[in-house]
Amino acid sequence: MPVRKTPVRKRLKPAEQARIAELFDRFEREETDPRTELDYDSPYTLVVAVALSAQATDVSVNKATARLFSVADTPDKMLALGEAGLKPFISSIGLYNMKARNVIRMAEILLADYGGEVPMVREQLQALPGVGRKTASVVLNELRIEPAIAVDTHVFRVSHRLGLSTGKTPDKVEADLMAVVPEPYLTRAHHWLILHGRYTCVARRPKCEACLVADLCPSRHLFVH
């Protein structure tokens, strides 16, 4: 198994270190064990759901997978369904033709190379069709296998507003977060930031009056007058 690199920690001034620690302490007090809002009951259904969620909402994916997973919740059942059989279940999700192709190819590889089990080594996982780095990060983090922060639009936005990163790309923001988020919170930070961006620190009109970390936010003055 490849040795996972320890994230490089950033040296922060004591006041900034304390501010960031307080941010995540409050998130933890609000929700101790944050989880994905995608429905799944196994590593396989999780990786399929996350792969289907690219450029789609969790709500739309859950509606589709509720029906899909009732008939195909393992690689062999998915392969038996086939690409043509899969498409009607996910046709309400964006890019469903490509996603159907990837899900079926993924099932083939899992059965041929991994005995029908989802590999929990990052390099193997993210090499699967339709997975890639971001999806692998979500899966490994959700299953508490590897501290990982997948940077979607919510995480990108919230990280900048909270002064956790100034990175211009998702990869740079991910590196910044892995360097400053206190280690005890690394396996949960991804979900806290997503949920905060989805429900409170929304794109156009953030709900600063309802924000539990508003007094710690360096961007609050931009929205509260």
For the annotated catalytic residues, the residue numbers are 134, 152
Integer Cα distance of 113 and 44 in angstroms? 15
* Residue 100 phi, psi (nearest 5): -60, -45
CB 93 within 8 A of CB 99: yes
Integer Cα distance of 176 and 182 in angstroms? 12
Quote the DSSP letter at residue 87: H
Integer Cα distance of 50 and 191 in angstroms? 14
Say which residues have a Cβ less than 8 Å from residue 170's Cβ, sequence separation at least 6.
Answer: 134, 151, 152, 156
CB 38 within 8 A of CB 63: no
Q: Name the token pair of 9.
A: 């920690």
